[in-house]
Amino acid sequence: MGKDQKKYLTNLGFKVLNSLGKGKFGHVYKVFKKETMSILAAKVIRRYMYDNQEWEAGRIIEKLKDDPHVLKYFQKIESEKYIVILMESSNFGSLQDLIDMQIDLDISMIRSIFKQFLEILRTIHSVGIIHRDLKGANILFHSPPGSGQVYLKVIDFGTVVILKDTEAATLMSCRGSQKFMPPEMFKIHDLQYQQFLGDHKIDVWSAGIIMFNLISHQYPYQAAEQQNIDEFQYKKILVRPISIKNDDLWDLISNLLQFNPSERFSAEQALQHQFFKYDKSNFIQLSNFEKILDINLKSRIFSLHSLILTAANKENHELIIAGGLQSAVGYI
């Protein structure tokens, strides 16, 4: 299927640079468009698996053009076999990449990442969108050229629910990864065709699990295996790891991971928490982020050099230009 999708993108006039990830409903590629000299993300979905909710969600969110956390949706291309959604690409990987590095982040960086994450949730929830499949791989880091800042962006709206009433709960089916499912969803995950009454606090629970994992390098259960997740959900006991030393931070995470959704914080409530009152800024400086990831000028020059050699061998001179522009701010 991958070769067929790449051939389809090539026929559309794109140069496929690499695969960004594959999910249940689609495959995302980083592509280069010669006419616009731009690098984009192209999500390819088989037509019979396509749900227009993703495109609709993207169009709703895109109306918030002044929000730096909003992922830009550019175009939808349809054929008899595939649907392609063209989106903005990121240049600093995903939150999962940072989690996998198991870096002990300082409290200032934790606060900035946490605050941006919650601001994303507040934004999408304010326009009636529940993501339902939040995980580290679906949160990207992006530094707009020349900004000197790094912003979080949420992707993959393939399983969203769009509410008419932004404050109301609604019947919905179970979606997403079990590691990040809230109790109200988890209890029906193995029951086919069952629905439950849920709201935006589904995403808040997932955010709590992700941040718990980022900070402590572990999950609230012993290991991400079915038996351990089942036991955690059944016992409903959240244990504070020794690595989370800040009391305000732990109180915030605890309120995101309330087993009873009526007692769980909303994103708006979380942003008013004492943890964020010490430093109201949500900025992530590019220079500080590079130091954390140990990305130095030499490694970026090496990456660009490799790209130039590859492009030169294939006589893709336009790709050298586009790649050079983007490598100046991070990963290709």
What pLDDT does residue 152 have?
96
Is 318 within 8 Å of 37 (Cβ atoms)?
A: yes
Mean pLDDT score of the chain, rounded to an integer?
Answer: 83
Q: What is the DSSP string of 139-180?
A: EEEE--TT--B-EEEE---TT-EE-SSTT--EEEE--S-GGG
What pLDDT does residue 105 have?
94
SS3 content of the chain, % helix, strand, coil (to 5): 40, 20, 40
How far is CA 94 from each of CA 76, 135, 141, 267, 289, rounded to the nearest angstrom? 24, 10, 6, 21, 13
Find all residues with CB under 8 Å of 104, minimum gap 6, and list them.
243
Residues 256-277 pLDDT 10s? 999 999 999 999 999 999 999 8
What pLDDT does residue 42 have?
95
Is 314 within 8 Å of 143 (Cβ atoms)?
A: no
Confidence of residue 118 (pLDDT cuts 50, 70, 90): very high
145 phi, psi to nearest 5 deg? -50, 125
Task: Report the pLDDT averaged over residues 98-103.
Answer: 93
What pLDDT does residue 250 have?
98
Residue 313's H or E segment, with its range, is helix 297-314
Task: Report the pLDDT averaged over residues 145-158.
Answer: 90
Residue 5's H or E segment, with its range, is helix 2-11
Parallel/antiparallel/unpaired status of strands 73-78 and 82-88: antiparallel
Confidence of residue 93 (pLDDT cuts 50, 70, 90): confident
What pLDDT does residue 153 have?
92
Cα 99 to chain center, whole Å?
12
Residues 164-218 pLDDT 10s? 777 777 877 777 788 998 988 887 666 555 777 788 999 999 999 999 999 999 9
Confidence of residue 45 (pLDDT cuts 50, 70, 90): very high
What pLDDT does residue 150 have?
95
Residues 241-256 pLDDT 10s? 999 999 999 999 999 9
Task: Report the pLDDT averaged over residues 221-228.
Answer: 81
Domains of the chain by range and CATH?
1-89 (3.30.200.20), 95-288 (1.10.510.10), 296-332 (no CATH)
What pLDDT does residue 315 have?
45
What pLDDT does residue 327 have?
39
Cα 103 to chain center, whole Å?
19
Is 9 within 8 Å of 30 (Cβ atoms)?
A: no
- At 4, the amino acid letter reads D
Residue 63 or residue 204, greater confidence = 204
- Cα gap 316→314, rounded to integer Å: 5
Query: Which range has highest mean pLDDT (33-42, 60-69, 190-199)?
Result: 33-42
Residues 282-320 pLDDT 10s? 889 999 998 887 744 434 434 444 454 455 445 444 444
Query: Which range has highest mean pLDDT (61-65, 145-149, 190-194)?
Result: 145-149
Confidence of residue 109 (pLDDT cuts 50, 70, 90): very high
The structure tokens 């949706």 sit at: 73
Task: Report the pLDDT averaged over residues 31-50.
Answer: 90
What pLDDT does residue 58 have?
76
Find all residues with CB under 8 Å of 26, minimum gap 6, and list them.
43, 44, 45, 46, 49, 158
115 is in an annotated binding site: no
**pTM score > 0.85 for this model?**
no
Is 5 within 8 Å of 82 (Cβ atoms)?
A: yes
Residue 57 or residue 206, greater confidence = 206
Find all residues with CB under 8 Å of 254, minimum gap 6, and list them.
238, 240
- Asked if pLDDT for residue 90 goes beyond 80, the answer is yes
What pLDDT does residue 189 have?
65
Confidence of residue 278 (pLDDT cuts 50, 70, 90): confident
Q: Which of 21-30, 72-81, 162-171 has the lowest mean pLDDT?
A: 162-171
